Amino acid sequence: MNIFQRFFQGKNRKAWAFLLWASIGLLIGVGAGLCLGANPMKLSLFLKTLNQKNSDDFLYRIIMTVRLPRVLGALLAGSGLAVSGTIIQSVLNNPLASPNIIGVNAGAGFFVLLASAMFPPSTYLLPIAAFFGSLLACIVVLLAGALGQMSQLMLVLIGFVVNSIFTAGMNVIMILYPDAYVGSGNFLAGGLSSVTLRAIACPSFFIILGLILAMLCAKGLNLLNLGADYAKTLGMNVTVSRCAFLFVASILAGAAVSFCGLIGFVGLLVPHGVKLLIGSDNRFVIPASALTGGLFVIVCDLLARVIFLPYELPVGIFLSLIGSPCFLYLMLKYKRNGFTG
């Protein structure tokens, strides 16, 4: 009972309150995503239509083939990318690291396009290909930092280089194999307009698995945040642990990219916002990032398809418009604070 009380008091109480409000906000966001759009409907009409299960009804088809897959896709992608960013920042000890900035998203995208060019399109193959691409990008950045003893700022620059290489690779594949991936333009921009329930079935398994593994890694990530030398004194095998954590981050980012495309900045902005509000204890940051990341992408996707009616902006472009100025601000902020490594 004493352990239970300690877990819920002090700073933990604030974190639990945040998780509660984030859960409520996520439920509201899911409801808004399902009910609002080019054809808005009241919640009562939505529930009535869903309960009737009439496949010939126009509203029912919109819900089941467009809005439900889109909202679920946004929830899964946001949660996966946000938690992946949280893990990568801890492993690299770099607050500016995130899946899109260090090339993880681009690596996953390159392998998705490569798999589509070499094999017939397969729903089950794409998440696996994306995982290997994201893992390769993580390993390259980690090895560059370890072998060259790079500063934190240099690691970000190495990530940009990795990102550029994989992006160039994707462009080459699309030139040589123009039919390699149907809707590649939407994939590169990062969008959820073509997501189906079938497309997210396999990635959802990997994302849920990755979120569970991330929670199991929370204590180890906390030790790593204290410094590699201190973690070694407590008996942690830092090299093995970092590889294991990056493995989990790659599962999350790769599975998300496999169906939503190159959505960026979620893994940077969400962990920063969560840590600013509840601290850096990964036992709370990871579930809070999962909830907040899902809500963030749902809301951004909803705004991207409502603000510009009758046109629709891919959520990846909308996030870039928000994330790029924020990333510039964070770089200037950490530079002023002596962020050189």
The reported pLDDT for the residue numbered 336 is 66
- pTM to 2 decimal places: 0.89
The reported pLDDT for the residue numbered 10 is 59
**Angle at 15 (CA atoms; ends 9, 16), nearest 5 degrees:** 75
Q: Which residues of 211-238 are buried (b: 16+ CB within 10 A; e: fewer)?
A: bebbbebbebbbbbbeeeeebeeeebeb
Give the residue-averaged pLDDT of 291-297.
95
Is residue 188 classed exposed, middle or buried when 0-12, 13-18 and 19+ CB atoms within 10 A define those classes?
Answer: buried
Q: For residue 324, give the amino acid letter.
A: S
The residue ranking higher by pLDDT, 312 or 19, is 19
The reported pLDDT for the residue numbered 290 is 96
- The per-residue pLDDT for range 170-210, each reduced to its tens digit, is 888 888 887 765 556 677 788 888 888 888 988 899 999 99
The reported pLDDT for the residue numbered 191 is 84
The residue ranking higher by pLDDT, 143 or 281, is 281
Query: What is the percentage of the chain residues whose pLDDT exceeds 70?
Result: 89
The reported pLDDT for the residue numbered 150 is 59
The residue ranking higher by pLDDT, 280 or 327, is 280
Q: Which of 177-181, 228-232, 329-333 has the lowest mean pLDDT?
A: 177-181
Give the residue-averaged pLDDT of 322-340.
74
- The per-residue pLDDT for range 18-55, each reduced to its tens digit, is 999 999 999 999 999 988 887 888 888 888 888 877 77
Q: What is the CATH number of domain 28-336?
A: 1.10.3470.10
Contacts of 322 (CB under 8 A, 6+ apart): 265, 269, 300
The reported pLDDT for the residue numbered 211 is 96
For residue 310, whether the previous peptide bond is cis, meaning omega lies within 30 degrees of 0, is yes
The reported pLDDT for the residue numbered 140 is 85
The residue ranking higher by pLDDT, 310 or 89, is 89
Is the confidence at residue 338, as pLDDT, over 70? no
Is the confidence at residue 137, as pLDDT, over 80? yes
The residue ranking higher by pLDDT, 330 or 273, is 273
Is the confidence at residue 110, as pLDDT, over 70? yes
